[in-house]
Amino acid sequence: MLSHPPIRPLPRVSSRPPTAGPARYSDPLRGNDGNPGTLEAPWRSVGTGVERTPPGGTLYLRGGTYYEQVYIARAAREDAPITLRSHPGELAVIDGGLREFFETPERAWAPAEQMAPDCYRSVNAYPNARYLLGSLGDSMVGMLAYYHREDIAERERTLLEYEPGKRFPSPVYLGPGVWYDEETGYLYARLSHTHYNFNHPGMADYAGERDARRMPMVIAPYRSVPLFLDGARHIVLQDLVIRGAGENSVVLHGCENVTFDNVTIYAGTYGLRSRSSGPVKFLHSAIHGSIPPWSPHSVGSLRISAGQTTPTTSLARELARLNTHVTLAIEGRTEEQVDYGWPTNRNWEIAWSDFTDSHDGNHLGGWGIRFHHNRLERIFDDALYLTPLTPQAMDDVHVHSNHFVQCGMAFGFGGMSEPGGPVYIYRNVVDMRWATPLSHYRLLHLPPLVRHGGRVRFGGLYIYQNTFLSTLNPRVSHASTQDLDRSYAQATLALTESAAPRRVFNNIFVHLEGMVPPRAETLPHLDEDVQLDGNAHWDVRNPQRAAAALEAYRASEFFAATRARYPAGWEANARAGDPKFSAFSPDPAALNDYRIGADGAAAGTGVALPKEWPDALPRSAGRPDAGALPVGAPPLAAGRGLQETAHD
């Protein structure tokens, strides 16, 4: 690598067998769109191939990069879908970016006069591009998109010396990035090294190539959309790479029966964005954001809202645009989506996939959503936003068997959705041993579940059979006062409402920095529709303290009063102690195995759950174990890692 080692595995060639049915071919190197599309005489572009491949046929993309923005509005049939895939043994890349920066960087850049020594200006101007996003082409590590010329050109200040009460320094160089001059249309790039000497897990300095003329880059304008499916029906996409995105990487609008299988999407501001589509399957795939390892939470946060001329606080100033805001956005309705015109997003299955390196992870909106066996890693804020930010009813949403690692918050809610049906959260491992880097020198610890404004608009939130690890006591975390008042059980009880049932059963809560004892002020009000029981709590620092806290609570008047809501009493069967995981260390770098031991405190702790509640594992005959992985269960297998060799 000339640049920085990849922070995610690069896509690999698949040897998936040929698909049945008629075959058509495109080839970016030797094709011609005037050809008949045969193996011997292929088309050149993806767009031509998609238009001319018949229902039931497969368009094989020969290995190479297709520099185009692909638009698919084909309507195939259920018994005869159109498949778009890489040719067996080859890898096709759909790139919406500007090819000269990747293929001929030596001719695309020239030294920028009167700038920092490592600063380069594009040879050509790109007027009306609004702004451009970039990644290092050999590793697909993202580059910062600077707001201001003075920051990318700063010669001396290369450290972000941020402290509470002090303003961000100006100017400051923050790491490899690009800056677009809106007046002239020229693009500037700089690859100078950084010297932060990070001690945060997952963060690193840049020490690679500094000459932009030697570095292939993926550079895309704001309006670049590499793949747009518009009213497409019965389309299968396999073994592809999508990159070179501006605001949106992949867009679905009004689509039906679309499948992504082994597709890698390198996200611009948004990875995959959908309205009014379904059924959709997103399987064995990945959406990787573009936040680089030398960029913390604070660098990409917008501090001046639209219409403002000054920052909202004395500390605020814009540094770099938010590389990737959301990896997957299943959106709600907007004004033009009236009921008789467009249905909601519906019947999605998102499974065995990776979502990484972004500010927010996935926004789920619609009904019939199945989100399971995924890995969510290095997401600075909400890994899974359970209510869409546009109006939409939520109904029948299942989130199970996922692995959350190094996320600011596992679950966030409080959008504009209307109360709908239930949201089930079960058999997930939420590992929050890793703190989120708020700035270059400050870490942020958050509880697993936090609300962002608005009301709790669920038809019911059911949280059961999960394993949660929290680095910091939620009572002193970055959350609202009301969140802190409900912080028992790591904030899974935060912001309950009488109109939104909340059930918290049979979970393991590992408290790495101490447990908030169950008291009246840390539990919901008795006039709310809340029940909790069968949970196991492990205070790693002081197990005896947690056990004493539970016993004191069960002897309290408040516990007796909870029987009006739940006959046994809230947490009547809760237990405190070590669950005896198969492998455990509080060190974030350790690879833990969260299967519990038969002699641990979580074995047989749980209570019987209603039969109508779904589960990913067989029900036990007696009292169930607490946590995501009961005694004798196989290890958690989540994410793309175990699946990516399926066709190799």
Quick check: is 185 in a domain? Answer: yes
The three-point CA angle 645-7-293 to 5° equals 165
Percent of the chain scoring above 70 in pLDDT? 87
Look at the chain and count its residues: 648
Identify the three-state secondary structure at position 48. helix
> Would you give the end-to-end CA distance of the chain in angstroms?
24
What are residue 326's phi and psi, to 5 degrees? -135, 135
Give the range of the structural domain holding residue 201, as residue numbers without chain letter: 103-220
Average pLDDT (494-515) is 89
The mean predicted confidence, pLDDT, of the chain is: 88
Confidence of residue 643 (pLDDT cuts 50, 70, 90): very low
The number of distinct structural domains making up the chain is 1
Quick check: is 566 in a domain? Answer: no
Residue entry with tokens 């040719």: 87
**CA nearest to 26, candidates 116, 97, 90:** 90
Quick check: is 62 in a domain? Answer: no
What are residue 483's phi and psi, to 5 degrees? -60, -45
User: Which of 41-55, 82-96, 280-294, 402-416 has the least mean pLDDT?
Assistant: 402-416
What's the pLDDT tens digit per position in 465-474? Answer: 999 998 865 5
- Cα separation of 603 and 601, whole Å? 6
What are residue 535's phi and psi, to 5 degrees? -85, 150
CB 249 within 8 A of CB 140: no
What's the pLDDT tens digit per position in 66-105? Answer: 999 999 999 999 999 999 999 999 999 999 999 999 999 9
The helix (run of H) or strand (run of E) holding residue 561 is helix 557-562
The helix (run of H) or strand (run of E) holding residue 152 is helix 149-152
- pLDDT attached to residue 419: 62
Q: Is the pLDDT at 300 greater than 80, yes or no?
A: no
Quick check: is 404 in a domain? Answer: no
- What type of residue is 57? G
Q: Is the pLDDT at 539 greater than 70, yes or no?
A: yes
Quick check: is 188 in a domain? Answer: yes
- pLDDT attached to residue 307: 42
User: Which of 10-14, 221-225, 525-529, 600-604 has the least mean pLDDT?
Assistant: 525-529
- What type of residue is 485? D
The bridge status of strand 187-190 relative to strand 119-122 is antiparallel
- pLDDT attached to residue 437: 83
The helix (run of H) or strand (run of E) holding residue 485 is helix 481-485
Quick check: is 168 in a domain? Answer: yes
Average pLDDT (524-544) is 93
Quick check: is 138 in a domain? Answer: yes
Give the number of other CB atoms < 10 A from CB of residue 315: 15
Residue entry with tokens 């094989």: 60
CB 617 within 8 A of CB 637: no
**CA nearest to 522, candidates 547, 559, 563:** 559
What's the pLDDT tens digit per position in 485-499? Answer: 567 898 898 878 788
CB 21 within 8 A of CB 60: no
What's the pLDDT tens digit per position in 207-217? Answer: 999 999 999 99
Q: Is the pLDDT at 312 greater than 50, yes or no?
A: no
Q: Is the pLDDT at 3 greater than 60, yes or no?
A: yes
CA 157 to the chain's CA centroid? 32
Q: Is the pLDDT at 199 greater than 90, yes or no?
A: no
- Give the dihedral sign, CA 614/474/527/547: positive
User: Which of 73-87, 174-188, 296-310, 605-619 has the least mean pLDDT?
Assistant: 296-310
Average pLDDT (121-144) is 96
The three-point CA angle 577-580-582 to 5° equals 160
What's the pLDDT tens digit per position in 14-36? Answer: 989 999 999 999 999 999 999 99
- Tell me the CA distances in angstroms from 549 to 511, 525, 540, 544, 621, one per residue in order: 13, 19, 14, 9, 30
Locate 284 and state its tokens. 């064995």
Confidence of residue 169 (pLDDT cuts 50, 70, 90): low
Q: Is the pLDDT at 514 greater than 80, yes or no?
A: yes
What's the pLDDT tens digit per position in 229-278? Answer: 999 999 999 999 999 999 999 999 999 999 999 999 999 999 999 988 99
- What type of residue is 413? F
- pLDDT attached to residue 32: 98
Q: Is the pLDDT at 430 greater than 90, yes or no?
A: yes
Residue 488 vs residue 138, higher pLDDT: 138
Confidence of residue 306 (pLDDT cuts 50, 70, 90): very low
Q: Is the pLDDT at 340 greater than 70, yes or no?
A: no
- Cα separation of 136 and 1, whole Å? 10
Q: What is the C-alpha R_g of the chain?
A: 26
- pLDDT attached to residue 301: 66
Residues in CB range of 287: below 8 A, 6 or more apart: 249, 265, 267, 271, 272, 327, 328, 353, 354, 355, 356
- What type of residue is 407? C
Quote the pTM value: 0.94
The helix (run of H) or strand (run of E) holding residue 545 is helix 543-554
Q: Is the pLDDT at 388 greater than 80, yes or no?
A: no
CB 436 within 8 A of CB 380: yes
- Cα separation of 227 and 71, whole Å? 6
Quick check: is 193 in a domain? Answer: yes
Give the number of other CB atoms < 10 A from CB of residue 170: 12
What's the pLDDT tens digit per position in 346-378? Answer: 999 999 999 999 999 998 888 899 999 999 999
- Cα separation of 482 and 492, whole Å? 13
Locate 133 and state its tokens. 């996003």
CB 506 within 8 A of CB 605: yes
Q: Is the pLDDT at 629 greater than 70, yes or no?
A: yes
- pLDDT attached to residue 144: 95
355, β-bridge pairs = 287, 376
Residue 453 vs residue 106, higher pLDDT: 106
